[in-house]
């Protein structure tokens, strides 16, 4: 009788260990950005704690985590394609939005709403066209596809935030962030509630997928061979 020891591939297991560092770097960058908005008087105006947390979540969930998932060797082709197209779309938006905010001073919440609707439809269409949404080949694929659903839900929340912001008309004065004032209390209250939900969902995803995402080795498995 012999013991068969199976381990995950060493190179694939070690690679994702940069995710915790990326999450910490994102949080630090968001904190610096919020400080500069509130103290240095940057374009866009002051930003509330609720909106700073939302900004950190969107960067994490729309850029950082998808990037790690797309590059992960264990993810199947279907979920990888869905996330890759979404990541490319958000990257293009990031470039355009930064230019419109800080160079042209012409950003409108309507642009964001249109792009959010497009991305919700994009993810849905890619999943229907072979994204692996019906019969995931592995637990990691299933987790990634569920994360795609979380992305879509967060885009719905972003549409609501943008619509409320557009109704106030402050973007015409180059105010792009909700400050901690009475005028924006309703938006900040709604954002606070959404923050609780999305961070809980993100934590749940990261915890359940901590094995592949954090590069932990697969547990030892044993089996008996016939003599």
In this predicted structure, what is the pLDDT of residue 176? 84
Q: Does residue 43 form part of some domain?
A: yes
Q: Is residue 72 part of a domain?
A: yes
pLDDT at 2 over 50: no
- Domain assignment present for residue 221? The answer is no
The Cα–Cα gap between 63 and 26 comes to 10
Say if 227 falls within a structural domain. no
Residue 5 lies in a domain: no
The model's confidence at residue 137, banded by pLDDT at 50, 70 and 90, is low
Residue 224, in any domain of the structure: no
Average pLDDT over residues 119-125: 97
226 in a structural domain: no
Which one is predicted more confidently, 16 or 24? 24
Structural domain boundaries enclosing 19: 10-214
Please report, rounded to a whole number, the percentage of residues in the chain having pLDDT higher than 90. 67
pLDDT at 105: 85
pTM: 0.84
Burial 194-209 (b: 16+ CB within 10 A, else e): bbeebbebbeebbeeb
On whether residue 16 sits in a domain, the answer given is: yes
Number of domains composing the chain: 1
């Amino acid at each position: 009788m012999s013991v068969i020891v199976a381990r995950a591939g060493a190179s694939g297991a070690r690679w994702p260990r940069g995710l915790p560092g990326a999450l910490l770097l994102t949080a630090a960058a968001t904190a610096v950005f919020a400080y500069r908005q509130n103290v240095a008087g940057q374009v866009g105006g002051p930003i509330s704690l609720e909106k700073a947390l939302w900004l950190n979540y969107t960067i994490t969930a729309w850029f950082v985590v998808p990037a790690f998932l797309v590059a992960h060797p264990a993810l199947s082709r279907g979920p990888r394609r869905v996330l890759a197209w979404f990541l490319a779309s958000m990257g293009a938006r990031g470039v355009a939005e930064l230019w419109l905010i800080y160079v042209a001073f012409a950003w409108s919440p309507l642009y964001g709403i249109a792009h959010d609707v497009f991305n919700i439809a994009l993810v849905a269409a890619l999943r229907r066209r072979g994204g692996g949404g019906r019969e995931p080949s592995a637990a990691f694929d299933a987790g990634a596809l569920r994360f795609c659903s979380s992305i879509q839900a967060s885009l719905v929340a972003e549409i609501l935030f943008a619509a409320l912001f557009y109704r106030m008309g402050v973007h015409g004065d180059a105010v792009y962030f909700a400050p901690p004032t009475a005028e924006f209390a309703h938006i900040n209250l709604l954002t606070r509630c959404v923050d609780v939900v999305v961070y809980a969902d993100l934590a749940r995803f990261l915890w359940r997928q901590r094995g592949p995402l954090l590069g932990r080795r697969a547990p030892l498995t044993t089996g008996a061979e016939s003599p």
